[in-house]
Chains A and B, each alone.
Chain A
Amino acid sequence: MQKKRKTLTDANLLLTITIVVFFLMYIGAILFQGKGFLKPQTFFNILNANAALLILSCGMSVVMITGGIDISVGGVTALVSMCCAVYLDYHNGNVLGAVAIALAIGLAFGIVQGFLVAYLDIQPFIVSLAGMFFARGMTTIVNTNPFNVANEEFVALKNVRIIIPGMGSLNKLGKYVNAYVEIGVIIAILVVIILFCVLKWTRLGRFFYAVGGNSQSALMLGINVKRTKFLSHLLCSLLAGIGGFVYFMHVGSGAASHAMGAEMNAIASSIIGGTMLTGGVGNIIGTFFGVLSLSTIQNIVSSAGLDQAWWTGITIAAMLCLFLVIQSVVMARKKK
């Protein structure tokens, strides 16, 4: 029992660091770059652009907490976007049908990958690597050329803006513009809240931590390890389906190159958020701040007008390095 409490304390420490770093970074951005970052819309734009990544990262965190990994989520996102785009534009589909397609693709990937990992005991990395190639390949088979969706019902949904009351800023002409978020952000926040509750207060959530922490002990405690692993992969892929649709709602197009590297960003966000690759430690709130930190860095680099795109990569690498060092220090202390 005591061990468990300690783990939580460690997790809380990692979480605190993540949150502190995010706020410092944002304050730094305001000091460095001034006016852009002072506007609330800049923050909400970060949310708008990264709602899908947030959902993907939540799923990734669950799998990582259970001790696995899923690198197919980016591919699933691209596949969902393309299938929905083709369905809406070439087959005169409606938005509800597109949502169903997105969920079905997520579920299908979750069942197959979860089964292979949990019941056939194949390495999750290999399984999801195959899943990634399959999803990317299928995307191109569904349609080779990228295109923007013109379906009116969908475009209307895509352009829905939820006004944040009491927040806004003056634009260049001196006109007051309200801050807004897209629907995807609401969905992402809901996912964060639901997953937070599941991980914190449900049996299943506890099982995820137990299996990831030490699957042998979990088995001895009478936890169905296989089922738990299966469910974690199912949940992750289902969230990839949802995330895929949110991504699709944000970009409004289908393309084989969509969400390229999103799985790596999701893993990076989870790690920055304090989730450990070794399993058993992690927190959805941390993941939330992990995504925010990652995307704020990207925003800072782009706002600074640095002409080389690789600066983003280098900064993220430095951040990951910092967090991995902190994590290993925490781990080393735990072993004592």
Chain B
Amino acid sequence: MKKLLVLLGIIVLCLLAVGYFGSVTPVENIAGMEDEVPGDGIVVGFSQLGAESDWRTANTESMKSTFSEEKGYEFLFDDAQQKQENQIKAIRNFILQEVDYIVLAPVTETGWDTVLQEAKDAGIPVIIVDRMVDVADNRLFTAWVGSDFELEGKKACEWLHAYTKLKSIPAENIHIVNIQGTIGASAQIGRTASLRRAAKDYGWDLLAEESGEYTQAKAREVMGSFLKQYDNINVVYCENDNEAFGAIEAIENAGKRVGKDIESGEIMIMSFDSTNAGLTDVLEGKIALNIECNPLHGPRVQSIIETLETGGTPDKQAYVEEDMFATDTSVTSITVNGFNYPVTKLTEAVLKERTY
């Protein structure tokens, strides 16, 4: 018993010591920091849905580098590991910590009303990034920053239209399959809608649509079964890069070739996101067109916060600028809704310059 008491005593002493020294040092630090920056930094809490892809990591990095200490921000980050409950927990924590702004990259669109109301009641503006939230009252969030997924889809379709017209391939000879993203995700909804509309307008043959759940494995499976069902597929519309990788694998396994030259029997792959791996495939000619989905949301969010700080009202929706990359240079630019978008010819140099 005596030994035990000694042991217990030691443990408690250790913990106390850690607690004591641990508590003294940061307190001093905080005091020191306050001396340096009199108008204390803006505290931004960011609830990121996870770290599942290169795209997501680039998104997180963009936020971190934007809201750095040097620029006068205090940045709190929470990785929710794909779970809405973790995001709700993080937002509640941010509210209790009295942050100045909450930035939320929601994992799903629904189920946010209660917690966003809590943030609103506490007077903390919430800025949504990437995916949208579906709430009864749009005043629950201040602004949204992200990609215009429908525009992305339109760009892809316009390019296909321009390209096939240039090669004088008749519309009825274009046989498309669509490997959709996770059903219900904003990107899936926008990109699918644009393809459907274009297929109807231009008279393309849209053979089939099925979800590849944004993963390589599932897309490979889906593409495999498409190839068994239809022998005339010449365009595959993949709603992200990982699905494109899966589709390419399935096509090559079936003994067919991928490429832009659809008249000579190649199957054309169109993809979205423009991640590094995706663009490498563009460089190799495996993916004909890759529409960028820009993850660098940080600067846009910062400009919204700056507007709010000066008492202004930011736009409810802010889109990030997005590029498009192709192996073929015959189409140099396309027009959607009266705006002209240039098509970038991908080279090694362009790929090296990109941050994600």
Taking Cβ atoms with an 8 Å cutoff, the residues of A that contact B are: 9, 13, 16-17, 20-21, 24, 27-28, 31-33, 35-36, 39, 41-42, 45, 49, 145-148, 159, 171-173, 175, 177, 250-253, 257, 299, 302-303, 305-309, 326, 329-330, 333
Contact = CB atoms under 8 A, between A and B. Distances in A.
Contact of B4 (A31, A299, A309, A333): A333
A31 B27 contact: yes
B76 interface: yes
Contact of A305 (B27, B77, B92): B77
B313 interface: no
Contacts of B23: 28, 31-32
A269 to B, nearest CB: 17
A32 B22 contact: yes
Given A24-B19, A28-B23, A307-B64, A145 B122 contact: no
B97 A302 contact: no
A111 to B, nearest CB: 30
Given A31-B19, A31-B23, A171-B95, A253 B84 contact: yes
Contacts of B81: 309
B12 interface: yes
B110 A148 contact: yes
B111 A42 contact: no
A172 B4 CA distance: 47
A28 B14 CA distance: 13
A159 B118 CA distance: 12
Interface in B13-66: 15-16, 18-19, 22-23, 26-27, 45, 51, 60, 64
Nearest to B43: A305
B8 interface: yes
Interface string B78-105: 1101111100011011011110000000
B114 A159 contact: yes
B94 to A, nearest CB: 9
Contact of B85 (A250, A302, A330): A250
A173 B74 CA distance: 20
Contacts of A308: 79
B124 interface: yes
Given A24-B15, A145-B184, A148-B110, A257 B96 contact: no
Contacts of A41: 96
B237 to A, nearest CB: 21
A45 B89 contact: yes
A303 B124 CA distance: 17
Given A305-B76, A307-B77, A21 B93 contact: no
A304 B8 CA distance: 29
A177 B119 CA distance: 12
B121 interface: yes
B336 interface: no
* Most chain A beta-carbon contacts within 10 A, residue among B51, B89, B123, B184: B89
26 contacts: A13-B4, A17-B11, A31-B19, A31-B22, A31-B27, A35-B98, A36-B96, A45-B89, A45-B92, A45-B96, A49-B85, A49-B89, A147-B110, A148-B108, A171-B121, A172-B124, A173-B121, A177-B122, A251-B85, A253-B108, A253-B111, A257-B82, A302-B90, A302-B93, A305-B45, A305-B78
B75 interface: yes
B3 interface: yes
Contact of A17 (B8, B18, B77, B182): B8
Contacts of B79: 307-309
B183 interface: yes
B122 A36 contact: no
Contacts of B83: 257
A175 B118 CA distance: 12
A54 to B, nearest CB: 15
A21 B14 CA distance: 11
Contacts of A175: 121
Nearest to A150: B110
A333 B121 CA distance: 56
B82 A28 contact: no
Contacts of A303: 76, 93, 97
Contacts of A326: 7, 11
A252 B111 contact: yes
B144 to A, nearest CB: 19
Contacts of B11: 17, 326
Given A35-B98, A36-B96, 9 more contacts: A24-B16, A28-B18, A28-B22, A32-B23, A45-B92, A171-B95, A302-B93, A303-B76, A305-B75
A319 to B, nearest CB: 11
A302 B96 contact: no
Contacts of A16: 8
B93 A45 contact: yes
B134 to A, nearest CB: 9
Nearest to A21: B15
B96 A39 contact: yes
Nearest to B183: A145
Contacts of A171: 95, 98, 121-123
Contact of B97 (A36, A159, A177, A309): A36
Contacts of A36: 93, 96-98
Nearest to A10: B4
A146 B108 contact: yes
A261 B170 CA distance: 54
3 tightest CB-CB pairs across the interface, nearest first?
A: A305-B76, A31-B23, A36-B97
Given A145-B184, A330-B4, A333-B4, A42 B77 contact: no
Given A13-B8, A148-B108, A35 B97 contact: yes
A333 B183 contact: no
A333 B74 CA distance: 50
Among B1, B96, B108, find the residue whose CB has the most chain A CB atoms closer than 10 A. Answer: B96
A36 B93 CA distance: 7
Contacts of B182: 145
